[in-house]
Amino acid sequence: MLCPVQARSSILERSRALNTNRAEAFSDGVFAIAATLLVLELKVPHVEPGGLADALLQRWPSYATYVVSFLTIGIIWVNHHAVMDRINYVNRPLLFLNLVFLMAVAAIPFPTALLADYLQAGHDERLASAVYGVTMSLMGIAFGLIWAYAVLSDDLLHDKIDPDRARRSLLIFTVGSPLYVLAIGVSLLSAELALVIYALLAFFYLFDVLPPLEVREGKHG
Amino acid sequence: MLCPVQARSSILERSRALNTNRAEAFSDGVFAIAATLLVLELKVPHVEPGGLADALLQRWPSYATYVVSFLTIGIIWVNHHAVMDRINYVNRPLLFLNLVFLMAVAAIPFPTALLADYLQAGHDERLASAVYGVTMSLMGIAFGLIWAYAVLSDDLLHDKIDPDRARRSLLIFTVGSPLYVLAIGVSLLSAELALVIYALLAFFYLFDVLPPLEVREGKHG
Amino acid sequence: MLCPVQARSSILERSRALNTNRAEAFSDGVFAIAATLLVLELKVPHVEPGGLADALLQRWPSYATYVVSFLTIGIIWVNHHAVMDRINYVNRPLLFLNLVFLMAVAAIPFPTALLADYLQAGHDERLASAVYGVTMSLMGIAFGLIWAYAVLSDDLLHDKIDPDRARRSLLIFTVGSPLYVLAIGVSLLSAELALVIYALLAFFYLFDVLPPLEVREGKHG
Amino acid sequence: MLCPVQARSSILERSRALNTNRAEAFSDGVFAIAATLLVLELKVPHVEPGGLADALLQRWPSYATYVVSFLTIGIIWVNHHAVMDRINYVNRPLLFLNLVFLMAVAAIPFPTALLADYLQAGHDERLASAVYGVTMSLMGIAFGLIWAYAVLSDDLLHDKIDPDRARRSLLIFTVGSPLYVLAIGVSLLSAELALVIYALLAFFYLFDVLPPLEVREGKHG
């Protein structure tokens, strides 16, 4: 529809490609909105004259969790596109897995607010940190399932991806999920230590662990 | 505008195609925002030290309705694209029908919050469930009208769709609306039973009931 | 960037076309978000057991203004695309006019909430209605300026548009602004009568008053 | 993926181009949402009969900061696209810089609300103005780093850009950041004077200071 030259390819391919683009457009919307809604947790304090500086400083956990959650959602977005670039088309089961994944991403502002409020309150912060870990674990598991489903299918994986390298990438791509689950347990001992794990996991996902798109012999390129 | 090759097609086709893309872009935005705004209903409880676990457990209806409404909006989105893929272009009546449809979709966070709050309060939950059903019925009726208008028109239906199969799909595509209306009545007897119907309808719409895009003889492909 | 074939056209055209697409993408985002944020004005009432029906009925102005504002924003969106389809490219002055226009569109949820709340309160509703009218007038004036700027420029208007018909369309396209200004005055007499004018203006803008894209002799098509 | 003709270019180029488009789509979403969320700061006052006019007039800082922040975000958006148009592709470091930049943009509604509330309260407005300046400084520094990273890299800068002109543009493009930092200092003397600087900086960025895309000899065009 965007480009009539596509009419040369089969109808099926065209329909499939469109599906992929739209799954990405909807996902991009959810990512952008979830990240931007985080600002609503930054509440304006209402204080007596001269009290604003103290009130703002006291709310440092709000700013810290804003930064961590915004960058985390941003990094997940980068990796989501890296996965989508390596998939030929999106079928109904994959769309549904993607919805479950986005449901966890869209929920991130809630545990973020919970963690900020209870770090500031100075009590129940370990439970709040565990709830954050549960949300991130669900996100990580759904994300791992998306990549595993694509790699293990017959035709979803992009032609330019070496299937063997794709299968080997599964281990490192999905290693985040058990670590997030581990962080839930750590949360119950120390919210601060769990926060360090969350930050390290976000840092780890800065790096691209997926196989590259490459020109292979005897194939389309 | 995206692709000069399109200049080969008639101006009219180009203008029409653009209309379709933009109706989808706007619709995608509304879907993504409505789904992501659901998280605002997940409110951070403010409790005495040690009271967070109880407070969070007590709010299970918020999490349950978040999941049901997010997945429902996601599934409607999948089906909306399935319909749009089968339409040649969007004229003003169809744009207006689409607006009415999106108005119902964008309203979903309200009955979702209403239902969550009154399930938790333990009273008036049947009326809240009926309001949820009314919103979903309006959405279903507007969605059915969009497909019916396209199928019964002279030139809106995509060339690759068999008109007979399209007409036969009308019955099963629009069967959801009377069932949502039925769920309004059931709500007045039992909110829980109505919830089961809402969940089953979401599950039913996971399946694609529309006719496929197919290459037919003697036509463009 | 989307389509290498574009490299055939001059760099300048490409850069201009991209600008147009992006102005539309940003505008679509603002429209979709402004429309969807209207739902946040639909507040869940918290009542004693058995009191929900009355509480919901009492809030009819919220539902009425949700419907009017959602459809109004939707119709403005349809007309915004009709204007953008008739413009070759977007230069900095036009981008700035578009920003001022979007600033008024994005503000619509505020006068909508104001009007709903004071219609329900049963006092100061005439002032609230006037504030609604001021917002819509600003939107209408900025929208009229966008079309006037494009029509009266040397090269912004699309090649396929008859410049004479475009100039004649200015009168009917901008007639809405003085009527919105009139509605501000009417608001001070009767909020209800002003509401009728707002609804009639939304209905009027359902129709396309812009000149069509047509193939003219001796030009690109 | 949008256009099979691209298959003629190398896989690498295609992958890179897609990255650029998606970085822009995500950024557009964040810009549109941050701008539109500003309306949530426009709160409906609840007053005794006849008190609405006074209540609305008293809230003039909310309207003033809405206008300044909406136009500021809009102007940043225009300049962000001007930068992106001059970049070949987006690599991981640039994506990360862009995320940090967007994190500052998405935060703008918070200092905007803070400034509006404390200008209205008539105390602590100088600290609130400084917080606004800190947010804008972070935005400006991240934005300057994006352009500097692209200009000083080997292959990120668009082929149609003269590298010498690009390097010379760095000074004027990044001059805003020290001025925003200066405004933080001025805020501590006078919030009003700082506001004038913020408005002047927004006005300054209305103008395009980047080198144009031009056809140079011996290169692709």
Query: Tell me: the pLDDT tens digits for A69-113?
Result: 899 899 999 889 888 888 888 888 888 899 999 999 999 999 999
Q: With residue B84 as reference, give the H or E element that holds it.
A: helix B60-85
Can you tell me whether residue B72 is helix, strand or coil?
helix
Give the minimum alpha-carbon distance from B166 to chain C in angstroms, rounded to a whole number.
28
- Cβ–Cβ below 8 Å for A5 and C2: no
- Cβ–Cβ below 8 Å for C32 and B19: no
- One digit per residue, the tens of pLDDT, for chain D of length 221 reads 333 333 333 444 444 445 567 788 889 999 999 999 999 889 899 999 999 999 999 988 889 889 988 998 999 998 898 888 888 888 888 888 999 999 999 999 999 999 989 988 989 999 999 999 999 999 999 999 999 999 888 788 887 888 888 888 888 778 778 889 999 999 999 998 998 888 888 888 777 777 777 654 443 43
Give the minimum alpha-carbon distance from A124 to chain B in angstroms, rounded to a whole number.
6
Query: Tell me: the pLDDT tens digits for A14-70?
Result: 444 455 677 888 899 999 999 999 998 898 999 999 999 999 999 888 898 899 889
- Residue A138 contacts B, CB cutoff 8 Å: no
Give the minimum alpha-carbon distance from C213 to chain A in angstroms, rounded to a whole number.
19
Cα diameter, chain B: 74
Which 8-state DSSP code applies to residue C212?
P
Contacts of D20 in chain A (CB under 8 A): none
- Residue A1 contacts C, CB cutoff 8 Å: no
Q: Rounded distance, CA D20 to CA B125, Å? A: 49
Q: With residue B169 as reference, give the H or E element that holds it.
A: helix B163-173
Task: Provide the pLDDT for residue C159.
Answer: 79
Q: Which residue of D has its CA nearest to A215?
A: D11
Contacts of B127 in chain C (CB under 8 A): 52-53, 56
Cα diameter, chain D: 74
Nearest to B147 by CA among B165, B173, B168: B173
Contacts of C30 in chain D (CB under 8 A): 32, 35-36
Q: Rounded distance, CA D16 to CA C6, Å? A: 17
- Cβ–Cβ below 8 Å for D99 and A70: yes
- Cβ–Cβ below 8 Å for C18 and D85: yes
- Residue C47 contacts B, CB cutoff 8 Å: yes
Q: Rounded distance, CA D113 to CA D110, Å? A: 5
Task: Provide the pLDDT for residue C93.
Answer: 86
- Residue D215 contacts B, CB cutoff 8 Å: no
Give the minimum alpha-carbon distance from C74 to chain B in angstroms, rounded to a whole number.
6
pLDDT over 50 (residue A189): yes
Q: Calculate helix-pair angle for C60-85, C125-152, nearest 10 degrees.
A: 10
Q: Which residues of chain C have pLDDT under 70?
A: 1-20, 214-221
Q: Which residue of B has its CA nearest to A30?
A: B32
Q: Which residue of A has its CA nearest to D17?
A: A85
Nearest to A205 by CA among A34, A27, A81: A81
- Residue A26 contacts B, CB cutoff 8 Å: yes
pTM score:
0.84
- Residue A5 contacts C, CB cutoff 8 Å: yes
Best to test chain A binding among B6, B19, B36, B214 (most A CBs inside 10 Å): B36
Contacts of D7 in chain C (CB under 8 A): none
Nearest to B31 by CA among B104, B110, B118: B104
Q: Rounded distance, CA D159 to CA D17, Å? A: 14
- Residue C25 contacts A, CB cutoff 8 Å: no
Asked whether the beta carbons of B184 and B156 are under 8 A apart, the reply is no
Asked whether the beta carbons of D209 and D154 are under 8 A apart, the reply is no
Task: Provide the pLDDT for residue A35.
Answer: 93
Q: Which chains touch A (3 or more CB pairs under 8 A)?
A: B, C, D
- Residue A49 contacts D, CB cutoff 8 Å: yes
Give the minimum alpha-carbon distance from C10 to chain D in angstroms, rounded to a whole number.
9
Candidates D25, D28, D110; nearest CB to A42:
D110
Residue C59 dihedral angles phi and psi, to the nearest 5° = -90, 25
Residue C157 dihedral angles phi and psi, to the nearest 5° = -70, 140
Nearest to B109 by CA among D134, C116, C42, A22: C42
- Residue D17 contacts A, CB cutoff 8 Å: no
Q: Rounded distance, CA A135 to CA A198, Å? A: 12
Give the minimum alpha-carbon distance from A4 to chain D in angstroms, rounded to a whole number.
9
Candidates B4, B19, B96; nearest CB to C6:
B4
Candidates B46, B208, B213; nearest CB to A92:
B208
More confident site: B22 or A133: A133
The residue to which tokens 């200071």 are assigned = D209
Q: Calculate helix-pair angle for D60-85, D11-37, nearest 10 degrees.
A: 170
Q: Could you report how far apart the first and last alpha carbons of chain A are, in Å?
A: 24
Q: Rounded distance, CA B146 to CA B94, Å? A: 7
- Cβ–Cβ below 8 Å for A29 and B24: no
Candidates B12, B22, B127; nearest CB to C28:
B22
- Residue B75 contacts A, CB cutoff 8 Å: yes
Instruction: Tell me how many helices (H) and strands (E) chain A has.
Output: 9, 0
- Residue D159 contacts C, CB cutoff 8 Å: no
- Residue D71 contacts C, CB cutoff 8 Å: yes
Q: Rounded distance, CA B81 to CA B86, Å? A: 9
Q: Give the confidence band of A199 by pLDDT, cuts at 50, 70, 90.
A: confident
Give the minimum alpha-carbon distance from D164 to chain A in angstroms, rounded to a whole number.
32
- Cβ–Cβ below 8 Å for C74 and B102: yes
- Residue B25 contacts D, CB cutoff 8 Å: no
The residue to which tokens 């549109």 are assigned = D32
- Residue C53 contacts A, CB cutoff 8 Å: no
- Cβ–Cβ below 8 Å for A124 and B50: yes
Q: What is the ipTM of this complex?
A: 0.82
Which 8-state DSSP code applies to residue A161?
S
Asked whether the beta carbons of D79 and C19 are under 8 A apart, the reply is no
Q: For chains B and C, what is the number of CB pairs under 8 angstroms?
A: 110
Residue A220 exposure: Cα atoms within 13 Å on the Cβ side = 13
Task: Provide the pLDDT for residue B14.
Answer: 42
Q: Calculate helix-pair angle for D125-152, D92-107, nearest 10 degrees.
A: 160
Contacts of C17 in chain D (CB under 8 A): none
- One digit per residue, the tens of pLDDT, for chain B of length 221 reads 333 333 333 444 444 444 567 788 889 999 999 999 999 889 899 999 999 999 999 988 889 889 988 998 999 998 898 888 888 888 888 888 999 999 999 999 999 999 989 988 989 999 999 999 999 999 999 999 999 999 888 788 887 788 888 888 888 777 778 889 999 999 999 998 998 888 888 888 777 777 777 654 443 43
Q: With residue B145 as reference, give the H or E element that holds it.
A: helix B125-152
Task: Provide the pLDDT for residue A84.
Answer: 86
- Cβ–Cβ below 8 Å for C213 and B4: no
- Cβ–Cβ below 8 Å for B28 and A22: yes
Candidates D103, D106, D127; nearest CB to A53:
D127
Q: Rounded distance, CA B187 to CA B195, Å? A: 8
Structure tokens at D183: 């405004």
> What is the rounded average pLDDT of the residues A133-162?
88
Can you tell me whether residue C157 is helix, strand or coil?
strand
Radius of gyration from C-alpha coordinates of chain B: 21
- Cβ–Cβ below 8 Å for D19 and A49: no
Q: For chains A and C, what is the number of CB pairs under 8 angstroms?
A: 3
Residues ≥6 apart with Cβ < 8 Å to B136: B72, B104, B108, B180, B183, B198, B201
DSSP letter string, chain D: ---GGGGGS-HHHHHHHHHHHHHHHHHHHHHHHHHHHGGGGSPPP--STT-HHHHHHHTHHHHHHHHHHHHHHHHHHHHHHHHHHTBS---HHHHHHHHHHHHHHHHTHHHHHHHHHHHHHTSSHHHHHHHHHHHHHHHHHHHHHHHHHHHHSSS-B-TTS-HHHHHHHHHHHTTHHHHHHHHHHHHHH-HHHHHHHHHHHHHHTTS--SPPP---TTS--
- Residue D109 contacts A, CB cutoff 8 Å: yes
